[in-house]
Structure 1
Amino acid sequence: MKTFAAAFLSLSLLAGLPDAACAAANKSKPVPTRKVKSVVLRKTVAAVPPVATFGQVAGLHEVDDPLSLKSSVAYVLDQDTNEVLFSKNPQAVLPIASITKLMTALVVVEAGLSLDEKITVTDEDVDTEKFTHSRLAVGTTLTRGEMLHLALMSSENRAAHALGRNYPGGLTAFVAAMNAKAQALGMADTHYVEPTGLSSRNQSSAKDLAALVNVTSQIPLLRDLSTSREARVALGKRMVQFRSTNGLLSSPLWDIGLQKTGFINEAGKCLVMQARMAGRQLIMVFLDSSGKASRIADAERMRKWLATLPGEPAATASSKL
């Protein structure tokens, strides 16, 4: 029995050796690890709905017109005869964005202020309304003429604000002069609160803006500066290129005598022009256009329509306002 027990014990020990050897081997070898893909949980950002323009809120885009324009307001006037060739919501009063700068320029020029006088951008000229960017850093010094050029061609907000701030009596007197000029021109639907157009409280109608274009287009300086396609301006030690905000100036199909674009969310895309076409000197107003290039597309639709239907009765669209 003792011999059998000893033999059984020996066999048990031998049977356990492979497992023990494997265990020892596993301890000496590194255990491969599985790569686990990391999952990054991102917070879901709610989509921010686009800001509705004043025209959209008023339902002006629901008004049909013969050209299916994207602008809720459109107005075309023969400058020589005062004949209205196209009219869509002409009396709707809406924010006009940087179209404001035409009145800013008119007030500056009619004040007879020296265009060679140096003007410096200060903290007061920084946009605290929409927080827009500007290449005119605080401390930049340019002549009044250069500021006027950048305000009309590139729609430079700090330039326009600096022009108003450097008016005799300051910004308050300048805005008062803007409103007084509007009244003198019979622009009863127009009101200004600042010289850049960043405020949605700068408002007007297409009929009023046509009156403004009529006056400003008769001033050679404003014609030249507003239709300038580009300019190099010395900002400190750097020469900086500024360009027009209106691509139609580069088109051989257009003969533009004066123009101004505008945009803020509340106003949509805006455009006013004086242009010669179809044998007429015309004033065009497009307000509250929806879409990136829609105001340009609307102007092209209007040009083609005028070229094919010269002398026809005015196309009209009824207004909701």
Structure 2
Amino acid sequence: MGIKKSVIVLAALYAATIGDAFAGTSKFTGLPGNPELRSASALVLDDDGNIIYGKDVNTVRPIASITKLMTAMVILDSGIPLDEKITITKADRDLVRLTGSRLEYGASLSRREMLLLALMSSENRAATALGRTYPGGMDNFVAHMNRKAKALGMTHSRFADPAGLKAENVSTAADLARMVSAADEYPLITEASTKTRLDVYPYRGRGHLTYGNTNRLLKNATWDIELSKTGYINEAGRCLVMQANIEGEDVSIVLLNSFGKLTPFGDSNRLRKWMLANS
């Protein structure tokens, strides 16, 4: 998407927050019926930012690892070297959720590889290390996350850490659609978030580690996904955002607070089936 499209998307989303419907030429405009989604909040937009489907789009909710899209944008905006090596330390361990990691203390990868792992495999230590090694440290990094959100017009969003481990990382479906639109402008984010497999070598003299993508829909041949990010913590439920092409049209999909590991993927398939059946 270009600058013109981003402006159109933001304008349409602003209209969505006050309940207006935009007329459009998409084949998916004004579809009858209801896809019966199980996600608490959902928003689907066409390529011009018109609403195809919306459900509780302005409720503020924890967003878990969807946060990592903002982390990636702040890193890429900064212009800091992507080939610089970053080493995992005890400061990168998860003291909030106590999750584990295959990146042990002393693991060393380039900033680019850390970004790839954070996006495709939702590697928490990789995301935390990106924030820790940002100029000015973690506090400055989080401040830049919130500054970026404000610049994007994400007025109901707040970021508290780069991995999305804290429940204080919050947003709305409408705000996240803005973030997806912005993230789609970064080729490295679209590449990383849709990569299905990556081998990395974080330890000298040892073999590789293989990482896979957390979005199982990328292995489904019926889906053409251009950007993707999953998220989960107890407070957020299962979350999924995507930019996908359906029947030749680009659509943005935001699904928040689904319970059940496979529910966001089931909701995505229900959405797609509903759209194709009624278009």
Structure 1 segment 12-27 matched on structure 2, within 5 A: none
Q: Does structure 2 retain, via aligned residues, the 8 Å contact 1:213–1:273?
A: yes
Query: Any stretches of 5+ residues in structure 1 without a counterpart?
Result: 1-64, 311-321
Report the residue type matching 1:137 in the other structure.
E
State the 1:307 CA deviation. 1.1
Q: 1:262 aligns with which of 212, 231, 246?
A: 231
Report the residue type matching 2:51 in the other structure.
V
Query: Percent of counterpart pairs with the same letter?
Result: 49
Q: 2:240 aligns with which of 271, 282, 293?
A: 271
- Aligned partners of 1:259 and 1:225: how far apart in 2? 9
Aligned to 1:71: 39
Asked whether 1:307 is paired with 2:276, we answer: yes
SS across alignment from 2:231: strand
SS across alignment from 2:116: helix
Asked whether 1:106 is paired with 2:73, we answer: yes
- Aligned partners of 1:194 and 1:219: how far apart in 2? 21
Aligned to 1:153: 120
Asked whether 1:173 is paired with 2:140, we answer: yes
- Aligned partners of 1:254 and 1:287: how far apart in 2? 20
Q: Does structure 2 retain, via aligned residues, the 8 Å contact 1:278–1:306?
A: no
- Aligned partners of 2:202 and 2:155: how far apart in 1? 40
Report the residue type matching 1:217 in the other structure.
D
Report the residue type matching 1:120 in the other structure.
T
- Aligned partners of 1:282 and 1:218: how far apart in 2? 15
Report the residue type matching 1:115 in the other structure.
L
Asked whether 1:253 is paired with 2:222, we answer: yes
Aligned to 1:138: 105
- Aligned partners of 1:178 and 1:233: how far apart in 2? 27
Report the residue type matching 1:229 in the other structure.
T
SS across alignment from 2:40: strand
Structure 1 segment 87-236 matched on structure 2, within 5 A: 87-236=54-203
State the 1:235 CA deviation. 2.7
Structure 1 segment 44-63 matched on structure 2, within 5 A: none
- Aligned partners of 2:83 and 2:121: how far apart in 1? 20
- Aligned partners of 2:69 and 2:127: how far apart in 1? 10
Q: Does structure 1 retain, via aligned residues, the 8 Å contact 2:34–2:274?
A: no
State the 1:222 CA deviation. 0.7
Report the residue type matching 1:215 in the other structure.
A
Q: How many residues align?
A: 245
Report the residue type matching 1:73 in the other structure.
S
Q: Does structure 1 retain, via aligned residues, the 8 Å contact 2:243–2:252?
A: yes
- Aligned partners of 2:48 and 2:116: how far apart in 1? 30
Q: 1:167-216 CA distances to partner (integer Å, 9 max, x unpaired)?
A: 11000000000000000000001001110011000000000000000011
User: What is the aligned-residue RMSD (CA, Å)?
Assistant: 0.9
- Aligned partners of 2:135 and 2:258: how far apart in 1? 36
Q: 1:28-47 CA distances to partner (integer Å, 9 max, x unpaired)?
A: xxxxxxxxxxxxxxxxxxxx
The farther-off stretch of 218-227 and 176-185 is 218-227
- Aligned partners of 1:238 and 1:265: how far apart in 2? 34
SS across alignment from 2:214: coil
- Aligned partners of 1:259 and 1:191: how far apart in 2? 21
State the 1:297 CA deviation. 0.2
Aligned to 1:7: none
- Aligned partners of 2:278 and 2:52: how far apart in 1? 10
Aligned to 1:59: none
- Aligned partners of 1:220 and 1:204: how far apart in 2? 24
Query: Any stretches of 5+ residues in structure 2 without a counterpart?
Result: 1-32
Q: Does structure 1 retain, via aligned residues, the 8 Å contact 2:43–2:255?
A: yes
Runs of 4 or more, structure 1, over 3 Å off, are: none
Q: Does structure 2 retain, via aligned residues, the 8 Å contact 1:94–1:203?
A: yes
- Aligned partners of 1:218 and 1:276: how far apart in 2? 16
Asked whether 1:291 is paired with 2:260, we answer: yes
- Aligned partners of 1:259 and 1:186: how far apart in 2? 21
- Aligned partners of 1:184 and 1:292: how far apart in 2? 33
- Aligned partners of 1:86 and 1:279: how far apart in 2? 18
State the 1:127 CA deviation. 0.2
- Aligned partners of 1:68 and 1:82: how far apart in 2? 22
